[in-house]
Amino acid sequence: MSVRVYRRELKDGKRVVFDIDVYEKGRRMRIVATRPANKSNKADVRRAERDAEVKARDIEEQLRVDAFSIFERKTRDYSDFIEYCRGLSKARGNPSAWTGMVNRMVEYAGGPVRMSSVDAIFGQRFKRFLEGVEGIGNTTRKNNMATFKAAIRQAAKDGYLPFDIANRIDNIKKDDADRNFCTVEHLTRLDAAECSYPVVKVAFLFSCFTGLRLSDVEGLTFGDVRPIDGRLHIDYRQVKTRKHEILPLGEQAARYLHQAAALHVYVSDGVEVTVSDSQEFEPGTKVFAGLPSRATIGSALEAWGKAAGLPFKLTFHVGRHTFISLGIAAGVPIKILSGLAGHATVNMTETYVHLLNPAKIAGVDALPVIGGASERERKTENQ
């Protein structure tokens, strides 16, 4: 068994590539290990050589484990990784995530990518490319990278790659992004302020007390609302995760639900009648009927937030952050709160703990006060 790296000059005399010669028990295969490097650029040539040597070590390791698969996949080496990913996007349950990753891959590679070119180095360079892409958030970068690694794992299972190299590719670090949320004072101001679209106002405030995403609010029907043991619940399937949820409604959320129902108006014998005068809605009727386009929702929320004097730009997702933050401030256990928010893992909910943590407040209140009675002592004296 032998695996060797060879330098080969191209016909133009200006570029070189590095090939890997693989020999095992009478079988031989040569693999083009790198893209052409400019001979005049010594750093580029050294980089290409190092890449080829790393790939050669990977192949040598695979030869010891499963030599047959190395030679069997020879015909698969010329398959296009990008087209393979497009095929996965049709088979998976979240095609938008796969489409986004494929689009970034096309931007990065500029053309087809042979399976034989997909290795840990390729993955690391794609990661650096994603980190430098402008106009997308860090969450999108993380999702693109996670989808890329999922494609790597599947390609290894399908025999297109000799083994799974996903663990050799670094993840994109999570950005500690700002998560704006509304305090009780903010919510009081918003409730009192006028919004150009009353249905947008009620939908947002409903989200603050249910944690529902805009996509779920848009699709919510009266058929999804049902009483269980005397309490209203929402029985729905999340649009984003396709996960089935049964969410109990608190008193405040139920109030906003009734306000949304009151915004429904229909004409009976030429007279406009509100829901308070009508019978129950059909199950397929949207709770928040009349929601405008998302662009209009965004503009309405921003203007409404300014009118209420909020110190940040109001977006619909702030409602979800608010729900989780209010739960943390109220001392709701993280595991319960995670279930109410519909998070896949408790870890996702824990990222919000630093926003408004009662334990931190108790911690600073425990510190001594110098030069006079503390606020706690004054409150005690006044009782």
Span 175-187, pLDDT tens digits: 655 578 899 999 9
Give CA–CA dist 175/367, Å, rounded: 32
Q: How many C-beta atoms lie closer than 10 Å to residue 346's C-beta? A: 13
Give CA–CA dist 22/63, Å, rounded: 9
How wide is the angle at C-alpha 195 spanned by C-alphas 193 and 198, nearest 5°? 115
- Token pair 């405040």 in the structure block, residue: 252
Q: Report pLDDT for 343.
A: 78
**Residue 296 phi/psi, 5° resolution?**
-70, -40
Q: Tell me the one-letter amino acid at 302.
A: E
Question: Residue ranges of the chain with pLDDT lower than 70?
Answer: 1, 65-78, 92-94, 174-178, 265-280, 351-361, 372-383
* pLDDT tens per residue, range 357-380: 666 667 777 888 787 655 555 555
Q: Report pLDDT for 74.
A: 47
pTM of the entire predicted model: 0.55
The candidate with the shortest Cα–Cα distance to 187, out of 61, 314, 303, is 314
Contact 247, 323 (CB under 8 A): no
Q: Report pLDDT for 70.
A: 59
The candidate with the shortest Cα–Cα distance to 190, out of 295, 299, 319, is 319
* Domains of the chain and any CATH numbers: 1-76 (no CATH), 77-177 (1.10.150), 184-360 (1.10.443.10)
